[in-house]
A and B are shown apart, each in its own frame.
Chain A
Amino acid sequence: DTGVSQNPRHKITKRGQNVTFRCDPISEHNRLYWYRQTLGQGPEFLTYFQNEAQLEKSRLLSDRFSAERPKGSFSTLEIQRTEQGDSAMYLCASSSGTYYEQYFGPGTRLTVT
């Protein structure tokens, strides 16, 4: 068990560019979550998958954001036409069932210049 991994760890991009982040959950976990954390704030929920099905999306997830988990294993989060307000730490978590502990990855820090 190597834990939840996220790549890249840091991403600097120019406004208007598209970026994609990857999350690899703990191998036996069927639930995967994305959160966003800005400086001085707690993580905010973005979206959640059970296996390959996206079951819940936050209002924070504008139409510029899309997430996939095509084979029920790793997940990608894409942000199109990035804005400076997208600068944040993007966290991924996984769990093995309802009300089970969510295990968090180290995050991808996005800076939009």
Chain B
Amino acid sequence: GDSVTQMEGPVTLSEEAFLTINCTYTATGYPSLFWYVQYPGEGLQLLLKATKADDKGSNKGFEATYRKETTSFHLEKGSVQVSDSAVYFCALSDGQGGSEKLVFGKGTKLTVNP
């Protein structure tokens, strides 16, 4: 079945450092790919998405490119802020058989120190 593998956390960075969180996936079809973020005490929020190969999703300075050849969707940000401290989830939806479910990775906790 479909699956998502994220790099293990936690990740601790200093403010203004470069962030990469790796995400790879296994899917039977051509999935849409998502990054969700969960800030402390809040619900999951969509951060960015990409629906086809070579698409780049971007939001709030974060970017991720849909790489079909490497089945990857790595999250990057050039300069993190303390306010980026959160748990980040990579997810896919492949739509096979009309399914609309999201399949999530385990999440990566990011802490940014001032």
Task: Output the residue of B44, B49, B105 with the most chain A CB within 10 A.
Answer: B44
B41-61 contacts to A, CB under 8 A, are 42-46, 49, 51
Q: Report the Cα distance A98→B102, complex, angstroms.
A: 12
The 8 Å CB contact of A42, one of B42, B89, B93, B100, is: B89
> Are the C-beta atoms of B101 and A48 separated by less than 8 Å?
yes
Partner of B101, one of A33, A99, A101: A33
- Assembled-state Cα–Cα distance A58/B93 (Å): 14
User: Nearest CB to that of A6 among chain B residues?
Assistant: B43
Contact between B105 and A106 (Cβ–Cβ < 8 Å)? Answer: no
In A30-56, the 8 Å CB interface with B consists of: 31, 33, 35, 40-45, 48, 55-56
Contact call A105/B103, Cβ cutoff below 8 A: no
Is B78's beta carbon under 8 Å from chain A?
no
Partner of B100, one of A33, A41, A58: A33
The reply to whether A43 and B100 contact each other, CB–CB distance below 8 Å, is: no
**B42 near A106 (CB under 8 angstroms)?**
yes
A56 touches B43 (CB 8 A): no
Most A Cβ at <10 Å: residue of B95, B99, B102, B106: B102
Using a CB-CB cutoff of 8 Å, which residues 1-57 of chain B contact chain A? Answer: 4, 32, 36, 42-46, 49, 51
